[in-house]
Each structure stands twice: as structure tokens, then as C-alpha cells.
């Protein structure tokens, strides 16, 4: 089977003619248009493309997804709810205020599967502000994202993050726990950006705004700052990665707990995915949620993977947190498996 050509698609642009691939984020302050995939475990792939042109619509009708019954979760309901209870015990002991607990779902996929065709399907079944594709088969990166969450936006020295915490089917489902969770993560993001921004420039112009997305609502805040002199993408990554909204607070404690309780690497899920135009000093990276990726190195053949999770606080109910992960996953898994009717707002 011939290998699919390298490409990337973001914001109405498609990039082709791959010229460079590096794991060094300092390249993002050099020149050219780059696609960026930073996985949760810290591996960053930056790919520079020469040909960048408008192409708002990915090719439709070419995706053949896994059977709906083939999806397997790295944590079942019992293991996940036990993890929630364990995090609550850590909170009671004063070791952490909040921690994200996630699980990875996997299903067999055909060898000729193309993530850009999945991006086309997601565009109709689950449109998202930071949707995109990165296809670098030779480098183990094949990602289709329908992310609603901004990790980092940069315009010159101005930087912005848009953390999401708090999810429900409707605004009426949002609880005081969701607002408290959002405020805690905003404080963490402020501190992260404060490590790389000029003193006094970090602000929170929007706090706990309700945003509607396909099938659910989120609480979203905005944190802004001005990079200090000499700081670039490498310093931004060092100060802010992994994203605070998908780790917890304090971040170091949350990462330790995540490592203890989660049984599968997150990969691109909960990482950073997007583009950088080094010539213009601009870029936009999403938090890698609502994200599919192909794992061709899996034993037994290629797998399509997808992550889902929830932020756990002292006020968390284990069963409700499991249901939140189901809510976040159900529509997207249905789209990827060909079981979602785009003429309806309900998952079949």
C-alpha cells in the first residue's frame, strides 16, 4: 500500500510539500509554515511545509471507520470510578486540589485509513473551532482533531490561552463544582504564563463564559499576556506544557497521580496540536481533546485511538464523572464509526 503524502490542514489552509521535520521547538521562531504535534508525554514533532494554500474543505466520503462495537477502553467503569475515589483521597490528604483522569479508547482500523478523510467527516458531524489534520506517516503522526479548546495563540509578543473546565449537556447541568474547577485552572494558567510573560501583563478578560458546542456546553475562560523580551515558542512550551486544563493543580502533583492511575499513554490526546507561521510571528495550538490518531505500531495492526476524561475535585461524584467522559466521547465515536446521522442532533 503506497504511503499517504505528508500534509496538514488548519483554519481553511492546507499545507503540503514537506521540507523539514524536527523535535526542536526553537525552529518555530525561524521561518516558514509549521504544523506542530506535541504529545502529552513530551514528544514534539514540528513539520515545515513549503506549499500553503486556501482549501477550506477536506475531501468527503472516503472514511471507513471501525465498527461501533470494536471500541475498547483503557479503563472500564469500575477502574475509572475507583480512580476518581483515589483522587478524592489525595485531595483530602492535601496533595492535590484537582486532577484530570483520562482513558484512551481504541479500535482496529483499515491499513489504508486516512485521517484527513476523518477530518472531513468530523467537520459535518462535530464542527469545532480548532479542527485540523496532521498527516506525517513516516514520523508516526496521523491526527484528526475536532478540538474546541485553545491552548496557545500567539500574535507577535501577545499570547492567549482559553482553558475549558466544566461540561454538561446543557447550561442547567453545570454545577458550582464546575465553576470552582474552572477558576482553579485559570489560576494555574495565569501562573504558567506568568513564568514567560512580562511582569504585570497577565490578565483574565473572560472568566467562566458558557460556550455551546455540538451536543454539550463548556465553561471557558481567557488568559492573556505579553511575552518578555527574548522569549519564544520554546520558552512558551517549557512554561505551559502540558496544558493545565488537562492535568490539574498543582500541576506537578497532578502529573504524578495521572502517572499512577492511568494505564495507557495519552499520546496526542491532551497535548498541543496546531500551526505556526514563523514568517508572520503567529500561531495557534489547540489542546488535543476531541482528537483521534492512528497508531500503526500497535501489535496486531493499526488502531484508531481517542481519549476522553474529566477533571476531578473534592466535589466530584465518581459515577457522574464517568458519565461526563461518556458524554464527551459518544458523539465523536459515533461519527468516526459511521453511526452518526448528520441530519439529527442525536447520536444513533
Residue 251: closest CA among 165, 188, 181, 314: 188
> Whole-angstrom Cα distance, residue 175 to residue 339?
31
d(CA 142, CA 133): 8
Q: Which range among 44-58, 82-96, 139-153, 224-238 shows the weakest confidence by mean pLDDT?
A: 44-58
Is residue 32 predicted with pLDDT exceeding 90?
A: yes
Residue (of 230, 241, 229) closest to 193 by Cα position: 241
Alpha carbon distances (Å) from 121 to 59, 97, 156 = 9, 38, 34
Which whole-number Å values give the CA distances from 318 to 86, 114, 146, 246, 312, in the listed order? 10, 36, 26, 18, 9
Confidence of residue 1 (pLDDT cuts 50, 70, 90): low
Which three cell numbers, joined as nine digits, stand for 329? Answer: 466521547
Indicate if the pLDDT at residue 133 is higher than 90.
yes
Residue for grid cell 505579553: 226
pLDDT tens for each residue of 284-341: 999 999 999 999 999 999 999 999 999 999 999 999 999 999 999 999 999 999 876 6
Count CA atoms closer than 13 A to 126's CA, side-chain side: 31
Any residues with CB less than 8 A from the CB of 332 and at least 6 apart, and which?
122, 125, 126, 146, 290, 292, 306
On the question of pLDDT at 73 being above 50, the answer is yes
The three-state DSSP-derived secondary structure of the chain is CCCCCCEEEECCEEEEEEEEEECCHHHHHCCCEEEEEECCCCCEEEEEEEEEEECCCCCCCCCCCCCHHHCEECCCHHHHHHHHHHHHHHHHCCCCCEEEEEEEEEEECCCCCCHHHHHHHHHHHCCCCEEEEEEEHHHCEEEEEEECCEEEEEECCEEEEECEEEEECCHHHCCHHHHHHHHHHHHHHHHHHHCCECCCCCEEEEEEEEEEECCEEEEEEEEEEEECCCCCHHHHHHHHCCCHHHCEECHHHHHHHHHHHCCCCCCCCCCEEEEEECCCCEEEEEECCCEEEEECCCCCCCEEEEEEEEEECCCCCHHHHHHHHHHHHHHHHHHHCCCECCCCCCEC
Exposure letters 239-254 (e unless 16+ CB within 10 A, then b)? bbbbbbbbbbbbbebb
Q: What is the pLDDT of residues 251-269, one digit of tens each?
A: 999 999 999 999 999 999 9
pLDDT band at 89 (very low <50, low <70, confident <90, very high): very high
* Domain spans of the chain, in order of start: 7-336
DSSP bridge partners of 213: 216
Residue 195: φ, ψ to 5°: -75, -20
pLDDT (mean) for 71-98 = 98
> What are the backbone angles phi and psi of residue 343, rounded to the nearest 5°?
-90, -5
Catalytic residues: 149, 165
How far apart are the C-alpha atoms of 241 and 274, rounded to whole Å?
14
Best CATH choice for the domain 7-336 from the list 3.60.120.10, 2.40.30.10, 3.90.120.10, 3.30.70.120: 3.60.120.10
Of 52 and 343, the structure prediction assigns the larger pLDDT to 52
Task: List, in order, residues 6 or more apart from 194 with CB less than 8 Å away.
Answer: 202, 225
Model confidence pLDDT, tens digit, residues 171-216: 999 989 899 999 999 999 999 999 999 999 999 999 999 999 888 9
Amino acid at each position: 500500500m503506497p504511503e499517504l503524502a505528508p500534509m496538514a490542514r488548519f483554519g481553511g489552509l492546507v499545507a503540503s510539500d514537506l521540507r523539514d521535520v524536527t523535535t526542536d521547538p526553537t525552529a518555530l521562531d525561524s521561518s516558514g509554515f509549521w504544523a506542530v504535534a506535541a504529545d502529552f508525554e513530551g514528544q514534539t514533532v514540528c513539520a515545515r511545509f513549503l506549499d500553503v494554500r486556501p482549501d477550506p474543505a477536506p475531501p468527503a466520503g472516503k472514511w471507513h471507520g471501525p465498527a461501533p462495537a470494536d471500541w475498547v477502553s483503557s479503563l472500564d467503569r469500575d477502574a475509572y470510578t475507583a480512580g476518581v475515589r483515589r483522587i478524592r483521597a489525595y485531595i483530602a490528604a492535601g496533595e492535590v486540589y484537582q486532577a484530570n483522569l483520562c482513558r484512551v479508547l481504541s479500535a482496529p482500523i483499515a491499513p489504508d485509513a486516512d485521517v484527513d478523510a476523518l477530518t472531513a467527516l468530523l467537520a459535518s458531524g462535530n464542527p469545532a473551532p480548532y479542527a485540523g489534520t496532521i498527516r506525517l506517516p513516516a514520523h508516526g503522526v496521523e491526527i484528526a482533531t475536532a478540538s474546541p479548546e485553545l491552548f496557545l495563540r500567539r500574535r507577535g509578543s501577545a499570547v492567549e490561552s482559553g482553558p475549558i473546565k466544566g461540561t454538561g449537556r446543557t447550561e442547567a447541568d453545570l454545577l458550582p463544582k464546575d465553576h470552582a474547577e474552572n477558576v482553579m485552572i485559570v489560576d494555574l494558567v495565569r501562573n504558567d504564563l506568568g513564568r514567560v510573560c512580562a511582569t504585570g501583563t497577565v490578565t483574565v478578560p473572560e472568566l467562566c463564559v458558557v460556550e455551546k458546542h455540538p451536543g454539550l456546553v463548556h465553561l471557558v475562560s481567557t488568559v492573556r499576556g505579553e511575552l518578555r523580551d527574548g522569549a519564544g515558542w520554546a520558552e512558551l512550551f517549557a512554561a505551559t506544557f502540558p496544558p493545565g486544563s488537562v492535568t490539574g493543580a498543582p500541576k506537578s502533583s497532578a502529573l504524578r497521580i495521572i502517572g499512577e492511575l492511568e494505564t495507557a499513554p495519552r499520546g496526542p490526546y491532551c497535548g498541543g496540536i496546531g500551526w505556526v507561521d514563523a514568517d508572520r510571528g503567529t500561531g495557534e495550538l489547540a489542546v488535543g481533546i476531541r482528537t483521534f490518531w492512528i497508531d500503526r505500531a500497535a501489535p496486531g495492526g493499526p488502531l484508531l485511538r481517542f481519549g476522553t476524561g474529566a477533571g476531578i475535585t473534592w466535589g466530584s461524584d465518581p459515577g457522574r464523572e464517568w458519565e461526563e467522559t461518556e458524554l464527551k466521547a459518544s458523539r465523536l465515536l459515533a461519527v468516526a464509526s459511521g453511526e452518526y446521522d448528520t441530519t439529527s442532533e442525536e447520536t444513533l
